[in-house]
Every structure is written in structure tokens, then in C-alpha cells.
Amino acid sequence: MKKGNRYGTHRVIEPVGTLPQPAIKISNDMEIFDNEILIDVDYLNIDSASFMQLKEEAKGDIEKVKAKIIEIVNNRGKMQNPVTGSGGMLIGNVEKVGDSIKGKVKIKEGDKIATLVSLSLTPLRIDKIIDIKPDIDRVEIEGKAILFESGIYTKLPDDMDSTLALAALDVAGAPAQVKHLVKTGDTVLILGATGKSGLMCSYIAKKLAGDKGKVIGQARNETRAEFLRNTDFCDEIIIADVLKPTDVLEKTLESNNGKEVDLTINCLSIPNTEMSSILPVRDGGIVYFFSMATSFTKAALGAEGVGKDVTMIIGNGYTKNHDQIALNVLRESKVLRKIFEEKYTKK
């Protein structure tokens, strides 16, 4: 077997010398190097910001979405949306382990795993798209993928369906980061609280903020607000337009006795929501952008423009033990698990 670089630079075609994630094109030749793992892929979970962009571009035509996904993978060697720059993750079975890492990795041929690195850096070959579930961003395929030596993954648990586990693992970075950020007594605003990552963050935030704290969840309409109320994950719920920062600010102040919040968590999948995250936060507070649609420029210059002295954190999809944290949230909360089973495990 050919020797490969730990971080996958041997796969980069253009521009040479970069890492696989920022590269424009990588090799998706499925002959593995000595430090790679070959995966027989079952499902792709496309990042929500990416999938929304694909659906909008295709005007809802799923056949056009399929064609675009194939085009992207053929052109780039990976599933990296050229507009959003994001990817997603996958589930599959380990087909082959490179010679130099056999015995070093905790998986063997035949194991079913979920990759915890982005599809935006994962060599991928799609032979056929079998089905797309557009409401849960899932693509069932026949194809292969490569996991680099540095790539992280998790074996799928025995106590839940693989598609249920995938739904949680797809956003595992969010609840794990929130666990580090929220303190007892904090007031927390969660934008996009009714989505997959938003629900998990709301549950964790309320647990950590405790009786002395407050979790304010944002919903886009009354139907979504009622759904959120029934979970009991938030102390207050606001219906606000996230594309109108002053609307979010006003509704937040109304629900928090005229006070700004300590922390905003942005779990949205649409662009131009940076200022809706920043405005409601007190000076010295924190804004956590889990959304892949976040613009660093808009956030940095926007905060400067309104004189907000806040700490802004770009969501890292990886935090130590984030896979187990996410799965344990589903094990802890019967309400959350039921929602995930109903919404994200469609056959």
C-alpha cells in the first residue's frame, strides 16, 4: 500500500499543498493508502445550511438536487457545497483498514460507523443515489468513502436505530459546546430552537442554567412555538423574524424583564442572522455561532458597528466526547428521543 499523510494532503489535487477541507478538488480514487479506512456508505446527512441552499437553487425539484449532488462530488471528489462551503457526515460499514493503522484504530472490517468529520473533506464516490429524504436532509446512496488517519468516527450504539443515532451525531458539536458554555443562573437565547441542534441545545441549556437561569427559545411562527412549548425545554418562547435583528432584540427584552441575555446560541440554517444573535447579548456576554451559514465578516464588523463588546465563538464540530454527549442526551430525555424518532428516522 502507498504511504499517506496523516491529514490527507496526499489526496489534494487542487491547490497542491492545502488540506483536504479548503481544497477545491481532491482524489476520490477508492484504492486506499496505508493509513486510510475504506467505507461502504449507506447514508449521507447533508449539512442543513447546504441542503437548504440546494433545495432553493433547485426550486424544490428533488431530481435536480440529486443531479447537483452528483455534480459536486464528481467535480470536487467530496460533498462540499460550493456556495455554503459545508458538507455533512455519513453512515457506513468499514470495508477495509489500511495496513499501517490496523491494530491502532478501535474499529475493524464490518463495523458500522458514523464519521464525525465533515463531508467537505471526505473523499467520496457516489455510484447511485437511491433516495432523498428532503425534510431530514438525508441521502441514501450506493458508494464509497475514505476516512483519513486523523479522521474521527464513532461506532454506532446497540440501543438505538442507526438513523436515530445519525440524527444526533450530525449536530453533536452543538450540545457538547453548550455544556461548556452555560453556567448556573445564565440567561440563554437560542435562535432556531425548534430544529435538531436547537432542541438539543435547549435541553442542555435548561438543565445547566437551572432554576435561577432562563432559556429563551426562538420560533418562526405560532405552530413552531406551540411545538416548543410542549417540550418544556425553554422557560420563555418568542416568535421573531431572525432576519430582523431589532425584532429579535425587542422580543427578547420583553421576555427577559428588559434585560439582555448572557449568551446567544445560533442554531439557524440560513444566512444573515449574525446581528440577530449579537444585539440581544449584554456587554461581556457570549455569542455562539453553530450555524454553518455564519459570516465571520458580518459578525465581526456588525458587532463593531453597534458597539457590542461580546465574545464570539465559531462552533467547532468537534469537542472531546461530543458523540457520547449527544447520544446520552437522547438516552436522558424521553421527550427529545421521541421527537427525534418521529422526525428524523423516516424509512
Does pLDDT of 256 surpass 90?
Answer: yes
Does pLDDT of 321 surpass 70?
Answer: yes
pLDDT single digits (tens) 53-112: 999 999 999 999 999 999 999 999 999 999 999 999 999 999 999 999 998 898 999 999
Nearest to 241 by CA among 272, 281, 215: 272
Does pLDDT of 298 surpass 60?
Answer: yes
Domain positions in the chain are: 9-156, 173-339
Task: Give me the CATH code for the 173-339 domain, please.
Answer: 3.40.50.720
Nearest to 237 by CA among 192, 282, 269, 281: 192
Average pLDDT over residues 190-213: 96
- pLDDT band for position 315 (50/70/90)? confident
pLDDT given for residue 319 in this prediction: 81
CA 210 – CA 208 distance, rounded (Å): 5
Helix (H) or strand (E) holding 262: strand 261-266
- pLDDT band for position 347 (50/70/90)? low
CA 233 – CA 270 distance, rounded (Å): 23
73: DSSP letter = H
pLDDT single digits (tens) 128-169: 999 999 988 899 999 999 999 999 999 999 899 888 898 888
CA 278 – CA 206 distance, rounded (Å): 21
Average pLDDT over residues 222-238: 97
pLDDT given for residue 38 in this prediction: 98
pLDDT given for residue 309 in this prediction: 97
Please give the C-alpha separations between residue 264 and each of 50, 87, 97, 218, 329, in angstroms, as whole numbers. 22, 24, 42, 11, 20
Share of the chain above pLDDT 90, in %: 86
* Single-letter amino acid, residue 243: L
Average pLDDT over residues 39-44: 96
